[in-house]
A = this chain, B = another copy of it.
């Protein structure tokens, strides 16, 4: 669960809506046709740019970014050290009961391969391919969000141009000029708001999340491979600690 994303989004909406309400007349900022052209145009352009499966996959990627929990690195180190100890004492088969304690499917698969007695190299190859596909999905989601972040202000501008042309044509009734321009500017506002508070920061978060998850998956792969090679707990710990920043390293002992 990524707290920062949720806090940032909530606070961002509060700040902007607060500024709107403080100025009086929040109602005029909610205009369905303006919303339709900005968001509709942006979604259509995104549909043209990407393929249907890519487009539909973006929602699950975003959801995972916010909801998914990346295990702390120290926890992974601890687990691998334990597995190494169990493996040396009771053999790989004894690790079978550990599988049920894990919820991450990637981790389960790696551990299952270990229990099934597969070679270290086979495990690494299979899991590396999985990591590769994970990164592809993430980088794909990032590209879609970045395109949305560039497309939303563009369609906001298109909406404003339409509004301006319509307003200028009916210049005979000057009392309508202000209202017409206010509505015309709404689409630019929607586009800028959606891009700068939602799409662009979310694309950035996806990149940071992707890096963190990839590192975790690489730690799991590295650890399971070391256990599969029959390394002793100390050697496994050393291998795992190389991933951890010096200031965050903790004393880890096999704890089984």
- Residues on A lying within 8 angstroms of B by beta carbon are 2-5, 7-9, 11-12, 15-16, 18-20, 22-25, 28-29, 33, 36-37, 40-41, 43-52, 54-55, 129-130, 133, 147, 151, 154-155, 157-159, 161-166, 168-172, 175, 177-179, 181-182, 185-186, 188-189, 192-193, 195-198, 200-202, 204-205, 208, 212, 242, 245-247
Contacts and interface: CB of A to CB of B under 8 A. Distances in A.
A161 B147 CA distance: 23
> Most chain-B Cβ atoms within 10 A of its Cβ — which of A51, A163, A185, A212?
A51
Contacts of A151: 196, 201
Contacts of A40: 11-12, 15
Contacts of A204: 48-50, 147
A171 B182 CA distance: 10
Given A171-B178, A179-B168, A186-B165, A46 B158 contact: no
B201 A49 contact: yes
Given A25-B169, A47-B7, A162 B19 contact: yes
Contacts of A52: 3-4
A8 B208 contact: no
Contacts of A133: 245-247
A162 B177 contact: no
Given A19-B162, A23-B163, 12 more contacts: A7-B47, A8-B45, A12-B41, A16-B41, A19-B37, A25-B166, A130-B246, A151-B196, A161-B185, A165-B189, A169-B182, A171-B175
A8 to B, nearest CB: 3
Contact of A44 (B15, B45, B162, B177): B15
B47 A196 contact: no
Contacts of A15: 36-37, 40-41, 44
B163 A55 contact: no
A203 to B, nearest CB: 8
| Among all A-B residue pairs, the 10 with the closest Cβ atoms | A171-B178, A8-B47, A12-B44, A49-B204, A48-B201, A8-B48, A168-B182, A15-B40, A49-B201, A161-B189
Contacts of A25: 166, 169
